[in-house]
Amino acid sequence: MAEREQLSPEEWWSTAIIDMKPGSIRYRGYAIEELIGRVGFAEMVWLMTRGELPTRPQAALLEAALVAAVDHGPQAPSIAIARMAMTCGVGINNAMASAINVLGDVHGGAGEQCVALYNDIAARLPSGDVSPAQMKAAAGAAVDELAAAGTRGGHGPRGIRVGHSQEPVLAIKPPNRRSRRPYSAMALSSVARSKSGQ
């Protein structure tokens, strides 16, 4: 408490995420006018949470994850709970809190498990330059280990195949038609580059 009393209000409320002054808004050091029209939503989410703009493969992977995480239809548990809460007369904040409370491994995705899978794959990759064959072998070994342990792939929208024998990790067609590589390959390339220090 004594520390708080020694700080000015500006110091107390300061953050590395945003800096606002009259006539100036900066996110993680970038002026808002530099970001608008230049970066997409996924890139902005990455910047806000990671403190730096993502590489192209990182942005593509996050965009794929955001799209795959969209739950379609009113039958989803979180949507049904939020709708029920609203019919009880509570405010939207309460309804959203109710919906968020049911998100977990079964509903809402297994994000933590996905990150663990990518970390496992990264740990299996050699240092330095990594070939597509080495990435495929590392991913295949990680998925085989999960399958041997009885872990099954989840369900998702069309276009996503988990644990397919030919594509051992999430394979999603990128929206950018110029790139024919699935997001899984982009993600693994990104992991391999970061492992080799590139």
Each residue of 128-160: pLDDT tens digit? 888 888 888 988 898 888 888 877 655 443 333
Q: Which amino acid is at 159?
A: G
Q: Which amino acid is at 126?
A: P
Q: What is the pLDDT of residue 34?
A: 94
Q: What does the alpha-carbon distance between residue 17 and residue 20 come to, in Å, rounded to a whole number?
A: 10
Q: What is the pLDDT of residue 194?
A: 52
Q: What is the pLDDT of residue 108?
A: 65
Q: How confident is the model at residue 174 (pLDDT cuts 50, 70, 90)?
A: very low
Please check whether residues 142 and 114 belong to one and the same domain: yes
Listed residues 56, 81, 107: the one ending a domain: 107
Please check whether residues 103 and 155 belong to one and the same domain: no
Assigned domain for 54 exists:
yes
Q: Are 183 and 61 in contact (CB under 8 A)?
A: yes
pLDDT digits (tens, 9 = 90+) for 63-105: 888 887 676 666 778 888 999 999 999 999 999 999 888 887 6
Please check whether residues 90 and 123 belong to one and the same domain: no
Q: What does the alpha-carbon distance between residue 37 and residue 40 come to, in Å, rounded to a whole number?
A: 8
H or E element: which one contains 187?
A: helix 183-196
Listed residues 57, 90, 107: the one ending a domain: 107
Q: What does the alpha-carbon distance between residue 48 and residue 53 come to, in Å, rounded to a whole number?
A: 9
pLDDT digits (tens, 9 = 90+) for 115-133: 788 888 888 988 888 888 8
Please check whether residues 39 and 64 belong to one and the same domain: yes
| Tokens read off for 45 | 């989410």
* Helical axes 41-50 vs 56-69, angle rounded to 10°: 110
Please check whether residues 190 and 132 belong to one and the same domain: yes
Which structural domain range is residue 102 located in?
72-107
Q: SS3 of 30, please?
A: strand
Number of domains in the chain: 2
Check: pTM over 0.75? Answer yes or no: no
